[in-house]
């Protein structure tokens, strides 16, 4: 199946160092389209922050967003693995954790800076220019929402303007997407596995992708604040 937001990740996956981590199956994206950019110089204008988390991720997310400043000059997006059929209270939890308000994506939502956009349960969060879409596509890596579709779509839509973060979790969702973000010139950050309640997902990402930063969540927040800055930015479709 090919969509406007998928990316052919074959080149990215072949470039990943093989350190005993399988590079097919769960790591292989199900939505693909040709289109890769060589990694270029870093750009200071990181307007899109995408964060993926799984088991133990609520604690990591609270620690991260609780240390982000209000008025952040970027739109923040969050995918947290959750069971099918549950009602998500994550937007309320994140809104209470720090100064940035959090909203749950339903159907299509215009992207806004200084807002945390949270994936709807049982739906992938897909980013296109100027908008976020809640899409009930096939599961990836056993999950819906999954982290890889968000990372890939952000990389395709915004390239080097993306900063991608992998937090606590198990298995490997987010690793393939992180590689695509890097291929498109984006910044990659991973929670220190020694701090994560479930270190598996951060550890696989670090082993498989040449990430820019491996930090505790408080320092991830500080790094994001430094590279993003404050202010109002617009997102044209």
Confirm if 102 and 77 have CB atoms less than 8 A apart.
Answer: no
CA-angle at 172, arms to 33 and 57, nearest 5°: 115
Assess whether 173 carries a catalytic annotation. Answer: yes
Q: Active site residue: 60, 81, 117, 184, which one? A: 81
**Residue 5 and residue 154: Cα distance in Å, rounded?**
8
Q: Active site residue: 60, 134, 168, 173, which one? A: 173
**Residue 121 and residue 212: Cα distance in Å, rounded?**
30
**Residue 26 and residue 14: Cα distance in Å, rounded?**
15
Q: Active site residue: 54, 60, 153, 168, which one? A: 54
Assess whether 81 carries a catalytic annotation. Answer: yes
The answer for residues whose C-beta is within 8 angstroms of residue 162's C-beta and 6 or more apart is 46, 48, 49, 50, 154, 155, 181, 184, 186, 187
Q: Which residues have a catalytic role annotated?
A: 54, 81, 173
């Amino acid at each position: 199946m090919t969509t406007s937001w998928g990316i052919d990740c074959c080149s990215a996956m072949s470039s990943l160092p093989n350190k005993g981590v399988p590079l097919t199956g769960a790591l292989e994206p199900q939505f693909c389209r040709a289109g890769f950019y060589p990694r270029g110089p870093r750009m200071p204008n990181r307007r899109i922050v995408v964060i993926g988390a799984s088991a133990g991720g609520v604690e990591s997310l609270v620690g991260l967003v609780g240390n982000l400043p209000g008025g952040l000059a970027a739109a923040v997006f969050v995918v947290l693995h959750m069971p099918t059929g549950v009602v998500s209270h994550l937007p309320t939890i994140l809104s209470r954790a720090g100064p940035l308000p959090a909203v749950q994506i339903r159907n299509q939502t215009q992207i806004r800076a200084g807002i945390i956009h949270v994936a709807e349960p049982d739906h992938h969060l897909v980013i296109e220019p100027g908008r976020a879409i809640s899409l009930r596509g096939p599961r990836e890596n056993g999950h819906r929402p999954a982290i890889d579709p968000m990372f890939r779509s952000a990389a395709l839509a915004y390239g080097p303007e993306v900063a991608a973060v992998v937090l606590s979790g198990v298995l490997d969702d987010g690793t393939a997407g992180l590689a695509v973000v890097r291929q498109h010139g984006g910044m990659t950050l991973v929670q220190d596995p020694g701090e994560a309640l479930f270190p598996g997902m951060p550890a696989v990402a670090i082993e498989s992708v040449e990430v820019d930063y491996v930090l505790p969540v408080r320092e991830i927040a500080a790094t994001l604040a430094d590279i993003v800055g404050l202010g109002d930015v617009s997102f044209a479709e």
